[in-house]
Structure 1
């Protein structure tokens, strides 16, 4: 945790906010913070600044300043076929940490139906995971996330509008071009399930203008491919 995020619900009065149980435990057992220590803080969807830690007994902080802008977002929409639940958590942490603000979790023929019943997909659990990613990266802007259980209507009806004027990239290693480096414009990146997109799905992506790209001969897990692709497309988040 490299920043302490707080929202309106945590503010108890002007200039103070209450720490969550997770935040309080982090300070007492990991950071070993002492009362009076200055800690970097951020208001959710707001600015960054400094707070005064008041101790484990009080479990709150005093807001000293909020005057810094958060890091710039990546100009990218990430469409991700729903992975296994335990991999989804790790992948979302990476996505949020790297500055993606527009996430779509999509169904695919090779996605197990049981994945859609996972408790991780509950709103409050997704928000917790994304906030953890922001805290890692000293960011405050919460990504938006859509759950889309129907593949074909999404690709046929929504993607043409979403992708207008953007680089449209389909991470699919067969009959593909080398993934571009250092894009300067907006993009949509589509990453498939562990078993890959099937022939029908690839055809649908191609019909709406997506170009197949690869990272070489090695086939990577989703949680590995995501940060590799993002850092290649937008080095150093630029």
Structure 2
């Protein structure tokens, strides 16, 4: 936890209060905070501050804001990813939020097991978003959408996300044209399931405005390909 996220209602008085059991246990057991220590705090969907701890009890930690700090910039990316296995979903959400995506879309496809959509983790997305924000020191959550029908999404929704200034790239190992490097514009990235999109799905994505591009001929796990492609697209080296 590199920042403590607070609900705006917890910051309405002169002294702010941390009362979440999870946050209290982390701060008291792992950081061993004491009165007078400084703590980085963010207001959910708002600003970020350096604060001073003024009181510590078992029930709450009270804080005094000292100065405003900058919130990390987002990556100008809409990430569309085929619904992964439930255990992968947790890591994928946290890592994508930590990396700073603006918007995420979970999508069904032929090789996505229908049982994945029954996972209770889908009801806990906000928790994993919070963990990702705390890791990154961010305060603003990405928008997350769920689309359980591939064809209607690709034909009716996807074209509205694509413009000349904001192209869409689908990672596909069976084409020759490489994924671009160090771009200077926003984009939409489409990542398939573990077994990849079937030919019909790739064709439909291309027909509706996506460019199929390669990251090499290795088949990469979903949770690995996302930081890899972001690092490639937005590298400043």
TM-score (norm 2): 0.93
Q: Which residue of 1 aligns with 2:104?
A: 103
Residue deviations 1:150-170 (CA, integer Å, cap 9, x gap): 111110011111112312100
Give the superposed CA RMSD. 1.7
Q: Which residue of 1 aligns with 2:158?
A: 159
Deviation at 1:12, TM superposition (A): 6.7
After the TM superposition, which residues 155-194 of structure 1 pair with which residues of structure 2 at under 5 Å, given as runs?
155-165=154-164, 166-194=166-194
After the TM superposition, which residues 120-139 of structure 1 pair with which residues of structure 2 at under 5 Å, given as runs?
120-122=121-123, 125-139=124-138
In structure 2, the residue corresponding to 1:155 is in which secondary structure? helix
In structure 2, the residue corresponding to 1:181 is in which secondary structure? coil
The 4+ residue runs of structure 1 with deviation greater than 6 A are none
Contact 1:6–1:43 (8 Å) recurs in 2: yes
Deviation at 1:17, TM superposition (A): 2.1
In structure 1, the residue corresponding to 2:92 is in which secondary structure? helix
Deviation at 1:63, TM superposition (A): 3.5
CA distance in 2, matches of 1:37, 1:77: 38
Contact 2:50–2:69 (8 Å) recurs in 1: no
CA distance in 2, matches of 1:30, 1:176: 49
TM-score (norm 1): 0.93
In structure 1, the residue corresponding to 2:75 is in which secondary structure? coil
In structure 2, the residue corresponding to 1:178 is in which secondary structure? coil
CA distance in 2, matches of 1:152, 1:4: 40
Structure 2 residue 56 is the aligned partner of structure 1 residue 55: yes
Q: Which moved more, 1:51-60 or 1:175-184?
A: 51-60
Q: Which residue of 1 aligns with 2:87?
A: 86
Q: Which residue of 1 aligns with 2:18?
A: 18
Q: Which residue of 1 aligns with 2:46?
A: 46
Q: Which residue of 2 aligns with 1:148?
A: 147
